[in-house]
Structure 1
Amino acid sequence: MLVGLLKTILILVAVYYIVTLLNRYFLQRYLYNLHRKQERDIRKNEGKVTVNDHPERKKRISPDEGEYVDYEEIDD
């Protein structure tokens, strides 16, 4: 019984370390590739000017609604 418990604990610790090492390797590789891609995009677009013009959209008023008119009450 004690041998089985120790064996299980040893397997869990080994799996934990293996997963940690693999995760670190793949995470470093992913971040390195992401960094290289961003550098390429920056170099490719260097000196290029782009203007994104978004025209104002007119508010659409339904025919049931009218314009709001602000008014003041006058006391007699």
Structure 2
Amino acid sequence: MGLLRTILIIALVYYGIKVLSRIFAPFLLKYAAKKAEQRFGDQFGQFNKGQQKQDTQKKEGEITIDKIPNTKTSNKDVGEYVDYEEIE
């Protein structure tokens, strides 16, 4: 009798969780999506505030360079170039 009662309790708990998850899962997913959106918005807001701060400090007509281009330098110590021909 105890084994049958335990199996019945396990089955009821399983189906109860299954039913409750169908009811509450959409609310939990909406909550998680809203929190993620809020976090991304906060990060974008911090970035945007930093950009506005930099823009307000510039004087009119002032030139600023945000990115320095990569300059490719060749190393002269590598060796010399040897021209070759294919022999057939």
Q: Distance in 2 between matches of 1:21 and 1:56?
A: 46
| Residue 46 of structure 2: aligned partner | 33
- CA apart distance, 1:4: 3.3
Unaligned residue ranges in structure 2 (runs of 5+): 1-11, 84-88
- CA apart distance, 1:6: 1.9
- CA apart distance, 1:21: 1.0
| Residue 34 of structure 2: aligned partner | 21
| Residue 11 of structure 1: aligned partner | 24
In the alignment of these two chains, the number of paired residues is 66
Residues 9-57 of structure 1: per-residue CA shift (max 9 Å, x gap)? 223222201101111212212111101101222333552556x7x9884
Unaligned residue ranges in structure 1 (runs of 5+): 71-76
**Normalization by structure 2: what TM-score?**
0.47
**Normalization by structure 1: what TM-score?**
0.52
Whichever structure has more helix as a proportion of its residues is 2
Q: Work out the percentage of aligned pairs sharing the same amino acid.
A: 8
Q: 1:42 aligns with which of 44, 49, 55?
A: 55
